[in-house]
Amino acid sequence: MTINQSVDLPDVADVLVIGAGASGSVAVKALAESGFSVVCLEQGDWTPPSAFAGDKPEWELVKQKQWHPNPNVRANAADYPVDTSESDVNPLMYSGVGGSTILYAAHWCRFLPSDFRVRTLDGIADDWPFDYAELQPFYERMDREVGVSGLGDNPAYPPGAAYPLPPLPIGKIGRKAAEGMDRLGWHWWPGANSIPSREYRHRPSCLRYGTCLTGCPAGAKASTDLTHWPDALKAGARLVTGARVSEVTVDAQGRASGAVYIDRNGTERRQKAGVVIVAANGVGTPRLLQMSTSALFPDGLANSSGLVGRNLMMHPYGAVVGTYEDPLDSWLGPAGQSIESMQFYETDTSRGFVRGAKWNVMPSGGPLGMRSGYGGRPVDESWGANFHRNVKANLGRSFEWGIIAEDLPDEANRVVLDPELTDSDGLPAPKLIYTSSENTSRLIDFHVDRAREAHEAAGAITTSETRLMRDCGWHLLGTARMGNDPARSVIDQWGRAHDVPNLYVIDGSTFVTSSGVNPTATIMALALRSVEHLIANRRDQTVSSAPVTL
């Protein structure tokens, strides 16, 4: 892939998109294919499949550092540090073309209909401004854009179109887990994954390396550098990599007029635009809006509600690993979900908490994973002769039931600008203030206990549990939430900022509630819905007073 380090940037773009990750990619492609002049500024770079470590002998070592999903551990030049001294959970992400989809596990899950109506159903948080039926067509189109493998007619969901590709094999781990679920009479279904089970739009089928969480060396997994950017560039989109945005600028009328960014040589540059779309994820977006202060917006851009950065949700994660006598080939990939269960997804107040979680079966990986994985084993069991014994007992014979706990919005959980820490360009780093709730503790305790029973019913000889993993902030949500009431939300249902008519936010920060499923299918479907609304209503779009061609 060649880098379009465009020298031919327009003086004023119709639309400027900040962030080339999951949501930004969807927006840039749709806008460019509709004839808009689009510039995208991305702080990271391209990462070609050959750069990934998954097909190299050192893979399990480098995933502890150079390919760690925590930017504080990885510390790439493109990353910004995050102060986590007051957070129960570390945020995980990737900076580059494709954003965090470069490292994601590609579990491809839709919200359930109840997720849009938790205030109505359970009396908590807020309802979304629309329902499942409204988003369903966008989910189905996104399934085709990324190439999802799955089995339709999952009884947990309303009926809909078939997935474009047949499901990935559930493998020995899926069959073993299903035995336990069948004995208990609990729901399970082959997992849907954005990993092709057959060749799909120039991407090969999955080769089962199992290294999806450090990037796919086969170029099979649907990261958006592969699924969206080639078409976006072909349609004329301009992408500037190594471009860290320090501020969204405004004109005298308080409309967004473009952005200031620092290029890879440390030079400050400006890009003007008629419309600005922020797609920098649930931490990067509130950070940028908070950095964008001006006389008109002294508390940060689009922040009259005071909610920019608030209601951070990260999906606390619990897990139960079971070890079996039978060989289960559980070093094999993908790291996508083999099977999933929605048995305990909905609220049952007799359990002592509200909402629930999706479960997913995942392989347990290679020898080092046996030591540092989720088992929570004491140190003396993880070294020397004991380590060898553990590897022999577990390698290829264990798998994990993972639990994605619904995280409820709480204004006290937030992203703020750190008063001291800065990134490599001297810009303020974000700080996370996040406490996992009492509801979450009860939810995870219940689900971990049930997942242990599921392993035991399947014949596990031992199980080990993790009740809240610190390195589980894969899903960064809620920090610029959508809603109809400008006093209680940052953007409207189309992603448009209540305070700034030509500023949009389309990434995971827009979520009203978190659901109990992995969010990227919803992030990308929402981004498509928002940007198509912008395209359809372009004649009525307010723009900056700068001359534009929109």
Binder to ligand FAD among 14, 42, 247, 400 (CB under 6 A)?
42
Name the one residue in this structure whose structure tokens are 């503790």. Answer: 441
Nearest Cα to Cα of residue 324 among 387, 389, 400:
400
User: Which of ligand FAD, ligand SF4, none does 107 bind, CB closer than 5 to 8 A by kind?
Assistant: ligand FAD
CA atoms of 25 and 17, how far apart (whole Å): 9
Contact with ligand SF4 (CB under 6 A) among 54, 71, 191, 508: 54
What is the amino acid identity at position 55?
D
Judged by CB under 6 A, the residue of 12, 17, 165, 216 near ligand SF4 is 216
Task: Provide, rounded to whole angstroms, the least separation between the CB of residue 389 and ligand FAD.
Answer: 30
Q: Rank residues 100 and 440 by Cβ distance to ligand FAD and give the closer one.
A: 100
Tokens 């035995």 belong to: 179
Exposed (0-12), middle (13-18) or buried (19+): which is 391, by Cβ within 10 Å?
middle
Helix (H, G, I), strand (E, B) or coil at 443: helix
CA distances from 535 to 13, 147, 257, 509 (A): 15, 24, 18, 22
Give the nearest distance from C-beta 342 to ligand SF4 in angstroms. 24
- Rounded least distance, CB 331 to ligand FAD, Å: 18
Alpha-carbon distance of 458 to 183, in angstroms, equals 8
Q: Which of 517, 464, 459 is nearest to 177 (CA)?
A: 459
* Residues 82 and 429: beta-carbon distance below 8 Å: yes
**Which of 41/216 has CB closer to ligand SF4?**
216
Q: State the virtual CA torsion across 163, 164, 166, 167 in degrees, nearest 10.
A: -50
Q: Which listed range, 60-68, 156-164, 279-287, 452-460, lies at the site for ligand FAD (CB under 6 A)?
A: 279-287
**Cα separations in angstroms, 313 against 46, 109, 135, 375, 406:** 28, 17, 21, 25, 9
Minimum separation from the CB atom of position 321 to ligand SF4 (A): 19
Asked if 515 and 228 count as a contact pair (C-beta separation under 8 A), the reply is: no
Taking the C-alpha atoms of residue 67 and residue 73, their distance in angstroms, rounded to an integer, is 9
Residue of the chain from 211, 281, 509, 515 that contacts ligand SF4 (CB under 6 A): 211
Binding mask 499-518 for ligand FAD (x = CB under 6 A): --------xx---------x
Q: Is 396 in the site for ligand SF4 (CB under 6 A)?
A: no
Instruction: Name the minimum Å distance from CB 261 to ligand FAD.
Output: 7
Single residue of 99, 210, 286, 478 touching ligand SF4 by CB under 6 A: 210
Binding part of the chain for ligand SF4, among 154-162, 204-212, 380-388, 461-469 by CB under 6 A, reads 204-212
Euclidean distance between CA atoms 132 and 130, whole angstroms? 7
Query: Footprint of ligand SF4 on residues 314-343 (CB under 6 A)?
Result: 333-334
Which of 17, 39, 41, 415 contacts ligand FAD by CB under 6 A?
Answer: 41
- Cβ nearer to ligand SF4, comparing 208 with 272: 208
The answer to whether 195 contacts ligand SF4 (rule: CB under 6 A) is yes
Q: Does residue 309 interact with ligand SF4 by CB under 6 A?
A: no
Cβ closer to ligand FAD: 480 or 500?
480
- Separation of alpha carbons 374 and 528, rounded Å: 36
Residue 463 beta carbon to ligand FAD: minimum distance, rounded to whole angstroms:
23
Q: Which does 92 bind (CB under 5 to 8 A by kind): ligand SF4, ligand FAD, none?
A: ligand FAD
Task: Rank residues 210 and 430 by Cβ distance to ligand SF4 and give the closer one.
Answer: 210
Question: Which residue type sits at 230?
Answer: P
Q: Is 275 in the site for ligand FAD (CB under 6 A)?
A: no
The only residue of 9, 121, 207, 393 in contact with ligand SF4, by rule CB under 6 A: 207
Give the residue among 363, 360, 357, 373 at the shortest CA–CA distance from 324.
363
Strand order in the sheet with 317-323: 189-190, 339-341, 357-363, 398-405, 317-323, 462-466
Taking the complex as a whole, the smallest distance from the CB of residue 106 to ligand FAD amounts, in Å, to: 5
Binding test (CB under 6 A) with ligand FAD, winner from 14, 17, 23, 432: 23
β-strand partners of 405: 357
State yes or no: residue 365 binds ligand SF4 (CB under 6 A).
Answer: no
Instruction: Please state the φ and ψ torsions of residue 206, each to the nearest 5 degrees.
Output: -60, 135
> Residue 480 to residues 70, 443, 488, 505: CA-CA distances in angstroms?
22, 26, 10, 8
Q: E strand or H helix at 463, and its extent? A: strand 462-466
- Considering the complex, state which of residue 225 and residue 532 has its C-beta at the smaller distance from ligand SF4: 225
Q: In the block, which residue shows the tokens 């003086």? A: 11
Q: Is 150 helix (H, G, I), strand (E, B) or coil?
A: coil
The DSSP bridge partners found for residue 362 are 400
Closest CB 351 distance from ligand FAD, rounded Å: 26
Q: Where are the beta strands (DSSP E) in 165-204?
A: 189-190
Q: Is 479 in the site for ligand FAD (CB under 6 A)?
A: no
* Contact flags string 72-111 toward ligand FAD, x per CB under 6 A: --------------------xxxxx--xxx-xxxxx----
**56 to 75: interface string for ligand FAD, x by CB under 6 A:** -------------x------
Residues that bind ligand SF4 (CB under 6 A): 54, 195, 206-212, 216, 218, 220-221, 333-334
Residues that bind ligand FAD (CB under 6 A): 18-24, 41-44, 69, 92-96, 99-101, 103-107, 213, 244-245, 279-281, 284, 288, 474-475, 507-508, 518-520, 523
